[in-house]
Amino acid sequence: MKNMLKLATPLLLTLLAGCASWNVPPPLPGESRAAVEARLGRPTNVYQLPTGTELEYATGPYGQATYMARFGPDEKLISYEQVLDAPGFARIKVGVSTQQDVLHLLGRPAEKSYLAIPKLQVWSYRYKESGVWNSMMHVHFDQDGIVRMMLNGPDPDKEERRFFR
């Protein structure tokens, strides 16, 4: 038993250290970009904006959150927010917003697909609708990269599979 405990202890400590990074307190406005990156790690993407820089922290293709850290020209944090939610999606304007706008507002999509008949490219984002339901928001772009429609529904990868016999 003691030998198993000795073998398991390093593994357990490694797992706990990994979990600790998930509970890092969010950065506060005014913090420097260097301090934010030191706390949160390397961003999944960096966007240069006319008003400053934006760091994307996406939780991966099956994650339901993407955090955006927005910095002013002085490299001080202006805002840090989870953007895959109703207010985040409401910032997208059908007929006006471009693919670049959507990247800056929501970050990278979990999936990309193409609908041949209407000739629309679709970017899909996983999120929790009202903080409860496993959902996907599908943003459809025309050939010019303009948002033409947005549809949401259940996330098929997180739906319970029901088989009838």
pLDDT in tens, 111-135: 999 999 999 999 999 999 998 899 9
Residue 78 lies in a domain: yes
The count of structural domains within the chain is 1
Residue 50 lies in a domain: yes
Average pLDDT for 84-104: 97
Residue 112 lies in a domain: yes
Residue 42 lies in a domain: yes
pLDDT in tens, 17-56: 333 345 788 999 999 999 999 999 999 999 999 999 999 9
Residue 21 lies in a domain: no
Q: Look up the domain containing 38 and give its range.
A: 27-154
Whether pLDDT at 159 is above 80: no
Residue 164 lies in a domain: no
Residue 163 lies in a domain: no
Going through 6-158 in order, the beta strands assigned E by DSSP cover 45-49, 52-58, 66-71, 77-82, 111-115, 120-129, 133-141, 147-154
Residue 5 lies in a domain: no
